[in-house]
Amino acid sequence: MSDPIDRMLDAAESGKSIIKNRESLHYSYKPPIILHRESELEQVTQSLLPILKQSRPSNLLVYGKPGTGKTLVVRRVIDKIQERVEKSDFPIKLIYTNSKEETTLYGLLVSLGRQLGLGEEELPNTGLAISEVFKRLLTKIRNGKLNAIFVIDEIDYLAQLVAKTGKDILYQLTRANERLEEGGSLTLVGISNDLTFKEKLDPRVISSLGEEEVVFTNYDVEQIKKILQERINESFIENSVNEPALNLIAALAGGEHGDARRAIDLLRVAGELAERQQSDKVTVEHVREASQKIEENKEEKSLKSFPLHEKLVLIAIMKANGSSTGEIYSSYKNLCKIVGKDELTQRRITQMLSEIELSGLISGRLIHQGIHGRTKKYKLTISSEMIKKSFKDELTLQDII
């Protein structure tokens, strides 16, 4: 009997590979042509044009749901400007950072500083006050008379960091030019997935951040189909994706809000599943399986990212005798004892339940209890298996799941 590993490796070597170019299925891939985004490309270019005429562009806010091509378009325009800058002697610095990937304000500012050319001696990785870090960025811009464009992707996360720390760096960034009068300039390009993003900001920030705005509309199912077709031609060998499979991917991704990134993810996972099963075509079944796999991965990732007490609350819901806030709290207190952690107050746990409910992993409903007032009952919307699987590697929790 042949070894199962050998069997798999033989199949991989001699087997059919229907994917010819994996890079073009990766989310960071920049396609040579950006489909269905002509007007957005024009508006973003128009907005940043002044920098080539040696004057400061307005701050720009780019909105749109996830997967509508915002980052792609902004980066394409920035790359094109960069090509021209290299040929001119006007000192322009184009800098990109994603605030979801930087978990602290300090980290985000250091990432901007490094791209401006500040080494670790001028800007250490830790230890300075936020205002000092900011001052050093501005000094670098002023001394080099640089005209900087800071692109901050997923700027909603930066706004959350600002709210948490109370350090209103957004206000300082939008006002930077008042401090740069002797030389240099700073333009901010914010990219946001949240259409209500502006409502959450300090009114002083709103007026200066949103000097210009570009809203990206959602792709429709037909447009997603064309984007997929283009990507299939680049990534798969000919005739290896069934028409019904393509239609289903477009329907699944277009049905939500026209998310092209989700469509390409589905295509990639379905293609990998088809290859693993030694199939020479991607079928509707592969797409359904891929969709389920992506959903499960998303839940698991979100469970793993919760802080310890949120995890304890989820396990408490799983184990409680009943599901009212009080019953969950006593289950939670019990778990804290077992793992040797100090419990949080019932008020904080009630608040936490509402926060977890927003993530969709639990659902709550109000129950009226006559003269006893009302209580909220919670239940998991995911399986307890999923919770056990996600938390099994966490030492603190091993004894209680």
Binding-site sequence positions for ATP: 68-72, 219, 231
Q: Which secondary-structure segment (H or E) carries 109? A: helix 105-116
CA of 374: how far to CAs of 72, 172, 328, in Å? 49, 46, 15
Distance, CA of 373 to CA of 78 (rounded, Å): 59
* Residue 377 neighbours by CB under 8 Å, 6+ apart: 323, 324, 364, 365, 367
Instruction: Give me 38's structure tokens.
Output: 């002509």
Q: Which secondary-structure segment (H or E) carries 366? A: strand 362-368
Distance, CA of 92 to CA of 178 (rounded, Å): 19
Distance, CA of 392 to CA of 299 (rounded, Å): 15
Residue 164, classified by CB atoms within 10 Å of its CB into exposed (0-12), middle (13-18) or buried (19+), is: exposed
Distance, CA of 274 to CA of 297 (rounded, Å): 19
Task: Tell me the torsion sign for CA atoms 108, 170, 161, 97.
Answer: negative
Distance, CA of 140 to CA of 118 (rounded, Å): 8
Annotated binding site: 68-72, 219, 231
Strand ranges across the sheet with 92-98: 92-98, 147-153, 185-192, 60-63, 212-215
Residue 2's identity, in one-letter code, is S
The H-assigned helical ranges of 175-242 are 203-209, 221-235
Give first-to-last CA distance, the chain, whole Å. 39
Contact 332, 343 (CB under 8 A): yes
Contact 186, 148 (CB under 8 A): yes
Distance, CA of 138 to CA of 135 (rounded, Å): 5
Beta-carbon neighbour count of residue 250 at 10 Å? 26
Instruction: Give me 244's structure tokens.
Output: 């019904």
The H-assigned helical ranges of 277-339 are 284-304, 308-319, 325-339
